[in-house]
Amino acid sequence: MNPFSPTIGPRKDCRFLLMVAAIFLSILATSAPTHALTSCMPTCSETDGRFIAIFNGPGFETLTPNSLNLRVVVPAGTVRFSVGIFDGDHLGSQNGAFHWDTGAGSALHRYTLLADPDRDNIGVTIFEVMAADLPDNEWADFDLNPNAAARSADGSFVYTLKVELLEDRLSANSFKVRSRNGIVEIDEVFAFIATLSTTVDRQIVFPNFDDTDGIDAADKIGANYNGTFTFFFEHPGNTNQLEIWDGDGDHGNFDGTDSDTDDPNTPNVVPAFAPPGSDVLPEGANPPRPFDDSSQPLARFESAVTYTIVAPDGEEYENSNPSGNREWERFVLSSATGDPAIADSQLPTIPAGTYAVRFEGLDLFNTVALRPPFPLGIRGEIRRQTMAPVVAQMGLVAIILFLALLGYLGAGKKAAGD
């Protein structure tokens, strides 16, 4: 008898094989792919020139304050998440060139993540980082475990990323925010812009740019920006009116056509929500500055800027004449009235679900402000990636071990028979 042969009897041998098979099948049953979610504001791309931004100083004429609060909502049961900031520096440099920002020297900005289940911009500090410590033209991601101080009434974890300018310096800080396994949204007025600051940025956004023969349509072939921005929000559908405000859209062509008009359902005053100290004007017929459409061929994306609200049922409602220079205008969908002094469009009901706000024809360098449908938050791009989990790899290992075990038992029986 071979001293190294198995001493398992036929019945025990069978039971052992069944046990191994059961373990193997249970591993395979739990090896379904997982779906990783990344939420970005406004987009996840590093090359499209789309940003949210905070501005300060004369010349920018913006309607937003020099601080911004973004929410990061992490679903209940999440084990790990991250918060990332792209180009969080201000006028820093990468390989001797800075990207996306402008201003009179590097301005002092701070990014603070708070546990904020009440969404009141107050809470326990999770991390704090200065712009000078963040990379230029790169993502900086902070990996985190959910903190009990951020747990809200529905079990989710709510954080606020507070971005602040800490000094009175002429500056425009353009950046993006993302979260893996969390949703990034904004529930206050904010500004967004498609921009570039240097010839290096220009080549990133327009990789085929070549002005040796002047600037024409060929320079925009393969461009990473196409004049569009898209945002999303969830509406509960429990009202008869949906209202969104856009500001400083600068609607109007450089040739004087299709200019801003006095919006019939927006009062000719400064709205109560306008941040103190902003460069706001009362609503009226406010000619654009800068023009959108621009006279600069590279910056221009035809036609003059408009936006469309796409309802959950796919119906589209266009705002063909949004705000002019430094004013706020409201765009109202109503199921109660079609009176143009009250609503822009009438629809049978305000359906519940996901709405899209799609801007088109937005030129480079035209900063637009947006006030989401209060008190709802608005979000940007979401990317979902199907990933094979580690447990699937364990299933493969189980197959190998199972086959090896069968071979071992077979060899043992043969040796015992010998």
Better pLDDT: 91 or 49: 49
What is the pLDDT averaged over residues 130-139? 96
Give the per-residue pLDDT at 406: 57
> pLDDT tier at 400 (50, 70, 90 boundaries)?
low
- Check residue 2 and give its pLDDT: 39
Alpha carbons 37 and 72: distance in angstroms, whole number: 13
Amino acid 375: pLDDT? 85
The structure tokens listed for 78 are 């999440």
Model confidence at 103: pLDDT above 50: yes
| pLDDT for the residue 60 | 83
Residue 10's pLDDT is: 47
Give me the mean pLDDT over the 121-148 stretch.
Answer: 97
Indicate whether 22 pLDDT > 80.
Answer: no
pLDDT at 67: 95
DSSP state of 217: G
Predicted pLDDT at 1? 40
Q: Which of 24-33, 63-72, 352-361 has the lowest mean pLDDT?
A: 24-33
Quote the pLDDT of residue 217. 86
pLDDT at 402: 54
CB 269 within 8 A of CB 283: yes
Highest mean pLDDT pick, 58-62, 334-338, 411-415: 334-338
Of the candidate CATH numbers 3.40.50.261, 3.30.390.50, 3.40.50.300, 2.60.120.380, the domain formed by 34-225+364-387 belongs to 2.60.120.380
The pLDDT of residue 31 = 46
Alpha-carbon separation of residue 304 from 179, 324, 366 (angstroms): 33, 11, 11
Residue 279 three-state SS: coil
Please say if the pLDDT value at position 261 is more than 50.
Answer: yes
Nearest by Cα to 197 from 51, 381, 380: 51
Asked if pLDDT for residue 183 goes beyond 70, the answer is yes
pLDDT tops 60 at residue 7? no
**Mean per-residue pLDDT, 266-292:** 92
330 by DSSP, 3-state: which? strand
Q: Considering only residues 337 and 1, tell me which one the structure prediction assigns the higher pLDDT.
A: 337
* pLDDT tens digits, 210-235: 988 888 889 999 999 999 999 999 99
pLDDT band for position 362 (cuts 50, 70, 90) = very high
- Residues of the chain with pLDDT > 70: what percent? 83
Is the pLDDT at 5 greater than 70, yes or no?
A: no
pLDDT, position 302:
87
Q: 84-98: per-residue pLDDT in tens?
A: 999 999 998 776 778
pLDDT at 418: 54
3-class secondary structure per residue, 128-180: EEEHHHCCCCCEEEEEECCCHHHECCCCCEEEEEEEEECCCCCEEEEEEEEEE
**Buried-exposed string 158-193: b where 16+ CB fall within 10 A, e elsewhere:** bbbbbbbbeeebebbbbbbbbbbbbbbbbbbbbbbb
117: nearest Cα among 161, 159, 69, 163:
159
- At residue 409 the predicted structure's pLDDT band, cuts being 50, 70 and 90, is low
Percent of the chain with pLDDT over 90: 73
Domain ranges across the chain: 10-31+390-417, 34-225+364-387, 227-293+300-360
Among 42-51, 85-94, 312-321, 392-401, the minimum mean pLDDT is found in 392-401
